[in-house]
Each structure stands twice: as C-alpha cells, then as structure tokens.
Amino acid sequence: MGIAEGLVSWPEELVKRYREFGYWNGKTLGQYLWEAADRFKDNEAVTDGDIHLSYRELAILSDGLALELSRRGFRQNDCMVVQLPNCWEFIVLLFACARIGVIPIMALPGHRSNEITYFVDHSGAKAVAVPDEIKGFDHQSMAWQVAEKCPSIQDVFVVGDCIADGSIDLRSLIHPAANEEVARQMLDDGEPSSDSVAVFLLSGGTTGLPKLIPRSHDDYGYNFRQSSNICNFDSSTVYLVALPASHNFPLACPGLLGTLYSGGRVVMAKSPEPDGCLKLIEMERVTVAAAVPAVAQRWLDAKVQNPGRDLSSLKVIQVGGARMAPELAAKVRPTLGCSLQQVFGMAEGLLNYTSFDDQEDVICETQGRPMSPADEILIVDEFDVPVADGEMGQLLTRGPYTLRGYFKAPEHNARSFTNDGWYRTGDVVRWHPSGNLVVEGRTKDLINRAGEKISAEEIENLLYRLESVAQVAAIALPDDRFGERNCVVVVMREGMAGLTLEEVRKAMEDFGVAKYKYPDQIEIVDSLPTTNVGKIDKALLRRQLS
C-alpha cells in the first residue's frame, strides 16, 4: 500500500472553502523557509550551543542535504523515522525532507526498538535518523537492530561523534550545493504539492502503539501561521525549544516553525532541565519558552532557589500538554516575572490559546479558546447529544488543520470520527463564561505522565507477556511531580511469587519499550473489581488507590 492509499481525503467542498478563505495558501514548508531566508537573510535563525545559523545558511544547508538525499535515492512520499534530540541538524533535516517530499515520522527520544520497529513497518520507512548515544543509551545500535528486522530500511543516519561501520554520518551530508542558485531552482521545480503529507506526527494512542497523524503542508502551515499571529511572534521573538522538538507543541504551536516563519530566533536546549534552561534564557535573552506543567513546576522551583537568575527578557511561558493546576498557574507571573499562556491542543489538530488580554483568573483557570474562526466545536454527552452551555461533555471538533483520519488505521478511524468528519478528541471539557474551554479530564484510557501520553492497553499487553501475570490493569493516579503516574495493578497466577516494580521495569527494558512508559507504582491484589458488564472497573481502582 502506498502513502496515498493510507490517507483519508478531505471533502472537496472543504478544500475549496479553506483555499478561498486563505487558510490553505498552497505553500510548502520549504517555500516558507526560503521566503524567510529572502526576507531576513543574515539574521540569526538557529542557536545551538556554539552553532549559529543565519536564515540564508539554514536554507542553503537544507537544500544541500535535500540533494544528497536525492542522490541516495530518496523520493517523494518516502518515509524516514527521525529520532534526533534538540539540535540544529534536526531542523536542517526537517526542511531538507520537505524540499523533496520525504516524510519524516517524528519519533521521540525516549522511544525504543518496540516503537521504532512499528513506525518502520507501518510506513515502509526507508531510513532511520538517530543520535549515536544519549544518556548512556546506544541509539545507533538500536537502529541497526531495527534495520535487521525491517527490510525496507536502506540507510541508518547518525548524528554524533561515534559513527559505526555501515552508518552514515548525517553531518557529512550537510553542506552547501556546488551551485546554490541552481540547486534552489531545481528543488523549486520539483517541489511537492502543498496538499501532500509534510510530516507524520504521533498520537497519544489509547489502543496499543501510537497512530501516525498525517499533517499536510497546507494544514500544518496554517497551524504555525495562525499560532504565530495569536501569540504575537515577530522578528524580535527568541524561542527556547526545551521540550523534544519532534513534539507538535514545540514544533509548530507556534514552536520553532512559527518562530522561523516570523523571522525570530530558535534556541535549542538539550533537555528541559531547569538549570540549563534558565541559564539559556538568561544568556540568549529568550522571550518565549514552552513547557508542560511538570517542567514548569521545576522551573518555578529553580527560580525560587536561585532568585539572582536574570530572566527579565522572558515575556511569556506557554504551558500545555496537560492541564495546569490553577494553583501552579497563579505562581508563574510573581515567580518568573512573565505572562502565562495556556495552550490546549493535540497533534491531531485543534489548538486553543488563552489571550494576553484575558483576566489573570481566566488565564490561570482555563485552557484557552479555539485559534481559528473555522474551528468547529461540539460538546456532547455519551449519546453525541450536545450538552447545555457550561456543562461538561466530550469534545468533538472539525477544522482546517484537524485531521480527517489516521494513516492506515480504518478500524481506529471508525471509532475516532463520526460519519460527518467530527474528530472525537477523548477530552472532557466545558465552556467557561469567558468563552474559553476548561479541560476536565479524559474519556479515553490514557495516562498523561508529564505531558507524555501512555496507552494503558499497551502497558497491559506488555505485562501479559510475563508468565506470572494473570490479570493487569494500568491506571493513572494523581501525582504531584508528573501530574499523573503510571500504576499497574496485578493479579498473580496461582503459585507464582509476587512481582516487584524493579522486575517490571527490567522486563520493559528487555522488551525495548520507551523508558517514560515504565510503571511508577505496582500494586499486587487478589482480584480486580469489575463493572456490571464484567469489565475491569478502573474508576473504582483509581478511587481505591488515590
């Protein structure tokens, strides 16, 4: 099956409407970069430690890498799993892929062989791009393990100082073309269509492994353009990428793409650790930073412990990925001396922002309003009947940047979308009197640990591989540090010894599972409670263990 066969098409009447209203403007990510390069030329675009790239340098290097990928046989609609840390090479590779229509699958640094293999198998990816090693984990060896199992893999690209035999040093391919203007024209002539897939983002996933989210150049371009307008990004913006850059939030909400579209400067942080990030904010005069609540909490604590840190350049901290407790939100302005902007959204599309004009209590207590006049919102009960204004219900949405279906997932799409194209977000929300949305929880069986969405079913399926486990339920429990922690409740097989948390984590490591999915807590019980229809009663479990 090719890429096109796995996609769900937009209705023609919506395509026409979105183009007429200018939401979709026919531009690709590569065109956005070159427009910025022509406009901002020698202005600094990317700062990564000692590496400083101007807009023109970024565009030229991206073109050079695009040509090198073409010489290696990469063509439009080929896929590449990209698992790189926050680094300048990630940005160059992203735009190089866009120039020739190669689709990057935005894997996260914490993913392991279990997830990477799935992404490759599901997409038929021709390459994997990884770092050599991060925090003692050998990503390069893992990539080769995946390549040995997946015959579609042609190349393993590596960023780092230790390049193994057979691997390709990605940096060695990043250089200007022999004739920059000829290269630009040639790539312009062969540019992909704006309605083709620009990137595959990853779903939080409530059933098994993440689904692939196709984002076209048209809809993703609108995503970061409109976000930039809402957030007042311009050429004075200095944006800190502290969360993994492959996440939708720091990538395009407005993220690094919105910053480059606006002529600002992107500062890459190696991790969201507070000491390094606060130091970068001070040194690079960062104006905007994005964080999940757990990270924001640590930044606040670090600033209290080090009040001498000069964060006067910081104008806004955006917080999203999970609901921020109002008590924590209220500490942002007095502690960091900047505005808080709450961001509620999803890689599947819909984005909501609090306004800088909102009252402080509204900013602290709500998760913003839809950013586009074309966003459609329904809040419904379990029978899809709209609830009364102000009442809680399940959030359904449609719009010019919200997907119409996951890639190659017809059964999942049948559950996640209504017949007329409404996306079932799985969020329980209500309208606030201000016109903003308040997120009250999730309908889906999902654990939201520090902004990382973990499928309870995936964790359960993994534990069922253990011979000693008779029954298991993975549930989310409240946690002061992570927002929610991953708790597994286990019934042991008769005659089997108890199971420890350390043993479960060692099994997860052996299975090649991302570390952030490891359980934080284990409870051994004699039996699991069930509902009247015989399903495991997770709501009761959560009440018993909270």
461 plus 435 within the same structural domain = no
Residue 294's pLDDT is: 86
380 plus 502 within the same structural domain = no
231 plus 312 within the same structural domain = yes
Q: For residue 131, is it within any domain?
A: yes
Tokens of 348: 């599947």
Which domain covers residue 150, as residue numbers? Answer: 29-41+51-193
For residue 491, what is the domain's CATH number?
3.30.300.30
10 Å CB burial of residue 299 (0-12, 13-18, 19+) is buried
Say if CB 460 and CB 472 are below 8 A apart. yes
Reference 43, options 34, 56, 62, 61; nearest CA is 56
Cβ-based neighbour number of residue 20 at 10 Å: 9
Q: Give the up-direction half-sphere exposure of residue 51: CA atoms within 13 A in the CB hemisphere.
A: 17
Q: For residue 13, is it within any domain?
A: no
Cβ-based neighbour number of residue 370 at 10 Å: 20
Residue 206's pLDDT is: 53
405 plus 508 within the same structural domain = no
Tokens of 533: 């229809």
Say if CB 461 and CB 208 are below 8 A apart. yes
391 plus 522 within the same structural domain = no
Domain boundary among 193, 208, 236: 193
424 plus 279 within the same structural domain = yes
409 plus 318 within the same structural domain = yes
State the alpha helices, DSSP H only, in 175-321.
180-189, 217-230, 248-252, 255-262, 274-284, 293-305
State the residue for tokens 């350049």: 313
323 plus 336 within the same structural domain = yes
From the first residue on, what is the mean pLDDT of each consecutive set of 10 residues in the chain (546 residues)?
89 97 98 98 98 98 98 98 98 99 96 96 98 96 98 98 97 98 98 98 78 98 98 98 96 98 98 96 98 92 95 98 88 97 97 97 97 98 94 96 98 96 94 95 83 86 91 93 94 91 96 95 94 76 92
Domain boundary among 442, 471, 487: 442
Q: For residue 21, is it within any domain?
A: no
Q: For residue 19, is it within any domain?
A: no
Q: For residue 215, is it within any domain?
A: no
Distances (CA, A) of 497 to 469, 490, 493, 500, 527: 10, 12, 8, 10, 15
10 Å CB burial of residue 304 (0-12, 13-18, 19+) is exposed
Tokens of 51: 């590496």
Tokens of 85: 């840390």
Single-letter amino acid, residue 421: G
Q: What is the enclosing helix (H) or strand (E) of 35? A: helix 29-40
H helices, E strands: number in the chain: 19, 25
Q: For residue 408, is it within any domain?
A: yes
Say if CB 459 and CB 207 are below 8 A apart. no
Q: For residue 46, is it within any domain?
A: no
Give the whole-angstrom CA distance, residue 35 versus residue 410. Answer: 38
Sheet with 103-106: list strands edge to edge.
168-169, 155-159, 127-131, 79-82, 103-106, 197-202, 212-216
336 plus 233 within the same structural domain = yes
Q: Tell me 435's DSSP state.
A: S
Give the whole-angstrom CA distance, residue 461 versus residue 472. Answer: 9
Reference 155, options 170, 176, 136, 174; nearest CA is 170
Say if CB 387 and CB 429 are below 8 A apart. no
pTM of the model: 0.91
User: φ, ψ for residue 225 (rounded to 5)?
Assistant: -65, -50
Tokens of 19: 């183009």
428 plus 280 within the same structural domain = yes
Q: For residue 523, is it within any domain?
A: yes
438 plus 452 within the same structural domain = no
Domains in the chain: how many in total? Answer: 3
Give the whole-angstrom CA distance, residue 266 versus residue 288. Answer: 10
409 plus 281 within the same structural domain = yes
Say if CB 125 and CB 153 are below 8 A apart. yes
Residue 180's pLDDT is: 97
Residue 530's pLDDT is: 81
For residue 238, what is the domain's CATH number?
3.40.50.12780
Domain boundary among 399, 421, 442: 442
For residue 34, what is the domain's CATH number?
3.40.50.980
First to last CA, the chain: 46
